[in-house]
Amino acid sequence: MSAQELIAQLEALGGEFAAAIADLTDEQAIRAAQARFLGKKGRVSAVMKQMGALPPDARREVGQVANRVKAAITDEVARRLAQLDALARQRDLERRVDVTLPGRQPHAGHAHIVWQVRDELIAIFAELGFDVAEGPQVETDFHNFEALAMPKDHPARDMQDTFYVTDDVVLRTHTSPVQIRTMLAQPPPVKIISPGIVFRRDDDPTHSPMFAQLEALLVDEVVRFSDLKGVLLHMVRRFFRRDLDVRFRPSYFPFVEPGAEVDMECSFCTPDTAADCRICKGTRWLEIGGCGMVDPDVFAHVGYDAERYTGFAFGMGIDRMAMLRHGINDIKLLYDGDVRFLRQF
């Protein structure tokens, strides 16, 4: 094929490309058309492959035309894209906007109800001089069980369905290991609370495999059960903002002696309406946790002199306190992540 014929084909391709993109209104489609003409296997390249049979002067002439056509196609792409951009901006400017309408407000988040309750409980205990102590959620068997008077094969371990990582490493079943770590790290007196996440293999309306717990420990030379009662009574009345009473029922916990379950007076009913109360089921009492005087065996594991020091400890579910305050009967509501529920608090 002669040089003039190749030049004619190249010039025709330039006009053909301009016509091909004239009605395109999408950048992706325009780029695709550009690739069909200028790509390695494009139509311009197909014409240029025929230049090999031409003499040098003719090849140079055809090559110059090919470069002009390529530049023209590239310029046409830029022109068409700029035109589309200008049209889009013009449409935006012509769009009617009522500037007097209020702007779209971002959705502001807030603290989860469980963490609201945790922070409030921390503040209440801070009033009494308790410090906050924290520890790892993945614990050793020693800190979670053995140092708390529960050696291996002790039947009390069956009271807690435990998640084991290895034979000697567990997901902590309570925040009591924080008390052990604190006592190992410092001599008495000790006055701490240990809020945090714990894990047990429970799954029913009142239990969750993961939940928030707060425990307290006070160790000094003269600590009595009456001190424990006074602290719990203060906490209940400050948290529920009412003069509610507490009671103790004897119970067993391996790390305290004596041990007790703590109940608070139901805040949802009176003696006259208790029979119809869906929260306390007519009993007038609601369980809030366990407590007791620290067992001397625990002091032995941390090197404290049980003849000189005494102490009390208690624990309660932060989630449980939230449920009792707001009359929530299913703990899963706290952790399902349903914002329709959580926005109420």
As a whole number, the mean pLDDT across the chain is 87
**Of the candidates 1, 35, 33, 31, which has an alpha carbon nearest to the alpha carbon of residue 17?**
33
Residue 274: is its pLDDT beyond 90?
no
Model pLDDT for residues 136-192, shown as the tens digit of each residue: 999 999 999 999 988 887 776 666 678 889 989 999 999 999 999 999 999 999 999
User: Which token pair is 334?
Assistant: 């706290």
Which has the higher per-residue pLDDT, 21 or 194? 194
Model pLDDT for residues 107-135, shown as the tens digit of each residue: 777 888 999 999 999 999 999 999 999 99
At which residue do the structure tokens 């305050």 appear?
325
For range 98-115, the mean pLDDT: 84
Q: Tell me the CA end-to-end span of the chain in Å, nearest whole number.
A: 83
Report pLDDT for 269.
Answer: 85
Report pLDDT for 1.
Answer: 66
pLDDT confidence tier of residue 20, bands split at 50, 70 and 90: confident
Model pLDDT for residues 283-329, shown as the tens digit of each residue: 999 999 999 999 999 999 999 999 999 999 999 999 989 988 888 87
Q: What is the pTM of this model?
A: 0.66
Name the E strands within the chain.
131-132, 138-140, 164-166, 169-171, 190-199, 210-220, 246-251, 256-265, 285-294, 310-317
Backbone angles phi, psi at 310, to 5 degrees: -130, 165
- The CATH T-level fold of domain 113-342 is BirA Bifunctional Protein; domain 2 (3.30.930)
Rounded distance between C-alpha atoms, residue 63 and residue 265, angstroms:
97
Give the residue extent of every domain in the chain. 3-94, 113-342
Report pLDDT for 156.
Answer: 64
Rounded distance between C-alpha atoms, residue 260 and residue 217, angstroms:
15
The residue count of the chain comes to 345
3-state secondary structure of 261: strand
CA atoms within 13 A on the CB side of 50: 15
